[in-house]
Amino acid sequence: MISFRVGRGAPLVATLLLGLVIGGPTTVRAAQSADGSPEGIPRPEASRLDSPPVDTAAGPVLRPLGLDEALSEARRGNPDLREARLARESAHAAARMAGSALLPGLELDVGVQRSNDPVFAFGTRLRQQRFGAADLALDALNHPSALNDWSTGVGVRWNVLDPTLWARRAAAGHGATAVGWQAVRAGQGAELGTRVLYWRAVGAAAGVRAAAAAEDAARSTLERFRKREERGLLTHADVLRAEADLASARATRVEAERGRDDARSALGLALGWSPDTIPVPSDTLTAPEGEPTSVGPGAFDPTARPDLRARAEVVQADRARQAAAVAAFIPRIEAFAGYQRYADAPFGGDGDAWSAGVMLRWTVFAGLSRPAALDRARAERETAELRYARARREARAEVTSARRAVDAALRGVEATRAARVAATEARDLMRRRFEEDLMSATDLLDAEARASAARSRAVDALAGYHEALARLRFALGRTTGEEQP
């Protein structure tokens, strides 16, 4: 086996042909540069988000958008929100169905029957008003000819008084309202998820910029060390450590880019977008100026939380179901009326008749089903009341925890900002002292590492603040989504 080392500018094709002519397997090794990367192959540069995204035919389309546009896209395309809206439509349809039982029912009947049954023949001739004296003969009564009976009728039936229907209608109405408030809360949840994913994507992009800046600083430090090594002011061990720091910074930047791409993909999924379109947030992480007035201090209002209002409607629905179980013991009154026409041929009108009446129905005993239904309704109502009370306590605790998280995030932003300023000033001072031979290489590398770490922590703190603020808005029920159930 013959191995050739290809230097810079050597024709690779000629080298391969030479190896084939000799007849042995040839291994081509590219020459490496001083920092370990192959010569002739460009080193990956730090990704910059300051430049606008470019659409490429080979990859997904990058689409810039702001926070307001992202929220609007989520309200239109979020799959969970669409499912909640469909559930709301279904619940309102069920409520309309329950209310329709209180309205009169109108029925139209059209039918035909042919028979030679004596009773049928006698009654049919009477209904068709074609009964004559000859039909009273014994032979005609006992052995009638087959007759046709075409009938057309219209009837009305109305539950005039049925307390169970009124109670069930009320229960269905409260249930539909509860599902509506749940849909509103689902919209707020979609908004929360969009805000969190949006600011995570913004923070990830800022993290890439911070990692790229750290890589540039490490590369600059390495160049500075190499020059001082050539002058005999540093050892090769110092240069090797700087190279290791550069490689570590490059790996950190690559990992940050992967996290940025994952954050953007997660945001696009929440918006209901195709994987071929990647959202690129256009906002930047800005430092807060005091506590936002939109979520400032104030008493917790349970009526501002759609999920609590849904719980309250569930309690009302269970109370209505209990009332329906009680009303099952009460008699009900029905009214009915009808008009019919009879003929021996289609579309005929030989005879007609009408009827109307009122009926009282009372189920005196139905086994033990009604007492059991009443006990079940009472237990469900008490369970709903307990769950509502617990949900209110949990919501109050959630708001308190969210406020603490925002306060902690504000303090964290201030602390990391001060730490970043101090670390940056210390690094600049170390650089000047290093150039004046007043500081060792180890001290400079440590200062560079502290400055890079401080910048990353500041980015994470800002992203965490915006996420905590979004969660506080959600806990308070103060969002920009739907407000009606």
| 299-309 pLDDT per residue, tens | 678 888 999 99
Q: How far is it, in rounded angstroms, from Cα 87 to Cα 440?
A: 68
Residue 449: the pLDDT is 92
Q: How far is it, in rounded angstroms, from Cα 49 to Cα 406?
A: 28
How long, in residues, is the chain?
A: 485
Cβ atoms of 154 and 110 closer than 8 Å: no
Residue 285: the pLDDT is 87
Residue 8: the pLDDT is 38
Alpha carbon distances (Å) from 481 to 143, 156, 186, 249, 353: 79, 46, 9, 42, 60
Q: Which domains does the chain have, with CATH numbers?
A: 61-77+185-324+368-476 (1.20.1600.10), 105-161+331-361 (2.20.200)
Q: Strand 147-161 relative to strand 105-115: parallel, antiparallel, unpaired?
A: antiparallel
Per-residue pLDDT of the chain (485 residues; tens, 9 = 90+): 333 333 333 333 333 333 433 344 433 333 333 333 333 333 333 333 333 444 444 578 999 999 999 999 988 888 888 899 999 999 999 999 999 989 999 999 999 999 988 888 888 888 888 888 887 788 878 888 888 999 999 999 999 999 999 999 999 999 999 999 999 999 999 999 999 999 999 999 999 999 999 999 999 999 999 998 998 888 999 999 999 999 999 999 999 999 999 999 999 999 989 999 999 999 988 877 655 544 555 567 888 899 999 999 999 999 999 999 999 999 999 999 999 998 888 877 788 899 999 999 998 888 889 999 999 999 999 999 999 999 999 999 999 999 999 999 999 999 999 999 999 999 999 999 988 888 888 999 999 999 999 999 999 999 999 999 999 999 998 876 656 67
Residue 25: the pLDDT is 40
Residue 51: the pLDDT is 39
3-state secondary structure 346-415: CCCCCEEEEEEEEEEECCCCECEHHHHHHHHHHHHHHHHHHHHHHHHHHHHHHHHHHHHHHHHHHHHHHH
Residue 298: the pLDDT is 57
Where residue 235 falls (left for φ over 0; alpha for ψ -120 to 50; beta otherwise) is beta
Nearest to 275 by CA among 262, 287, 284: 262
Q: Strand 332-343 relative to strand 277-281: parallel, antiparallel, unpaired?
A: unpaired
Bridge partners of 32, per DSSP, are 38
DSSP per position, 138-165 = HHHHHSPPPEEEEEEEEEEEEEEE-HHH
Cβ atoms of 336 and 360 closer than 8 Å: no
How remote is the C-alpha of 468 from its chain's centroid?
19
Nearest to 318 by CA among 183, 133, 178: 178
**Position of tokens 């959600």?**
474
